Amino acid sequence: MRPNRTNKSPLVFRQPLHLLAALLFILCVEQPSLASDFEPRGLQFSYGLNLGGYKASDETGNYYNGSGRNNLAETLMRQHTYNRIREALGYDFEFPGEPHEYLPQNMGYSPAMVVGVFGTLHFNERYSLQAEFNFTRLRLQDQFLLRILRGDPGFIGHDIERFNIMGTEERSDIRIGLQRTFPLTEQQVHPYLEAGANMISTRAKENRVQIAGNRYSILNLTDARYGFRDDGISFGVYAGGGLKMDVGENYALLLGAIGNYANINLGDNDKYHMHYSIFLRLFLNTGTGISVAD
């Protein structure tokens, strides 16, 4: 369970749906007779593994900066936590100024590894239906400010110090799309394009700060006590392309890149942004090579 959120309007999803329709049209428009390409002759199914890199949009990064539901000031000023930190620092402390002055305002996701599995239904040498599942764990880190109340007139240095604030997030991504390959006669490398729709499940796993070598969770106390989790499902569209390489009768490799236009249902976010990935797909079963008729 998680706290209730404001319902998002169906109008939010119109733009990516229109974009998906345009992308699929572009993939198919060059073929004069689509019916012949989708005839169920020689249908083949292949499957394999994905491995690559993922760069998320930073627009939802400030969810972890301590200004929202996971409130940094509220957590650190709780008496038990305050006493622990004061003991570790050796001094009392306070927040200098307003939240926008002591909290990071541009937290961003570090590039992450993505792993997954896929299955492909080949209609013929040009068209195939692609489905895949991918998983990635994202991390963020920035710094916030505390004023250390040393009360020592002989102290030389700054009374404001920086400390780390961190977040960990997991995303699971299901994609279904159309792939168009452009076979090259007597070549082992073939360019391709693909486009489709995806569903993203997002879960905020951790939100912590580190002070004097100790870590403190700033996850909302009520959420933690009752097992609430801030997670959600969102949707988007994607498009990309790359090269498909035949490496023998039993294996094939596909190297590509994808741009994903999607919103991330985390906190009050409801806007669509671009996320990017590069990947290598390894086909693990036979029948994945492209044959070109003379």
Which whole number is the average pLDDT over 206-214?
A: 95
Report the alpha-carbon distance of residue 119 to residue 270 in Å, rounded. Answer: 30
Whether the pLDDT of residue 239 is over 80: the answer is yes
Q: Which helix (H) or strand (E) holds 69?
A: none
Question: Rounded to the nearest 5°, which phi and psi values hold at 232?
Answer: -175, 170
- Confidence at residue 34, expressed as pLDDT on a 0 to 100 scale: 39
170 pairs with which residues across the strands?
137, 203
Q: Identify the three-state secondary structure at position 103.
A: coil
Which whole number is the average pLDDT over 36-64?
A: 83
- Confidence at residue 184, expressed as pLDDT on a 0 to 100 scale: 82
Report the alpha-carbon distance of residue 141 to residue 150 in Å, rounded. Answer: 27
Q: Tens digits of per-residue pLDDT, 180-193?
A: 999 887 778 999 99
Structural tokens at position 203: 């879960």
- Confidence at residue 170, expressed as pLDDT on a 0 to 100 scale: 96
Which whole number is the average pLDDT over 238-256?
A: 88
Question: Domains of the chain, with CATH numbers?
Answer: 10-65+109-140+169-206+224-283 (2.40.160.20)
Structural tokens at position 25: 């049209």
- Confidence at residue 175, expressed as pLDDT on a 0 to 100 scale: 97
The C-alpha angle with vertex 124 and arms to 120 and 126, in degrees rounded to 5, equals 85
Which whole number is the average pLDDT over 55-71?
A: 94
Q: Tens digits of per-residue pLDDT, 102-154?
A: 999 999 999 999 999 999 998 888 899 999 999 999 999 999 999 999 877 65
Whether the pLDDT of residue 36 is over 70: the answer is no
pTM for this predicted structure: 0.82
Contact 269, 263 (CB under 8 A): yes
Q: How confident is the model at residue 43 (pLDDT cuts 50, 70, 90)?
A: confident
Burial 177-186 (b: 16+ CB within 10 A, else e): bbbbbebeee
- Rounding to the nearest 10 degrees, give the CA dihedral for residues 138, 53, 197, 181: -170
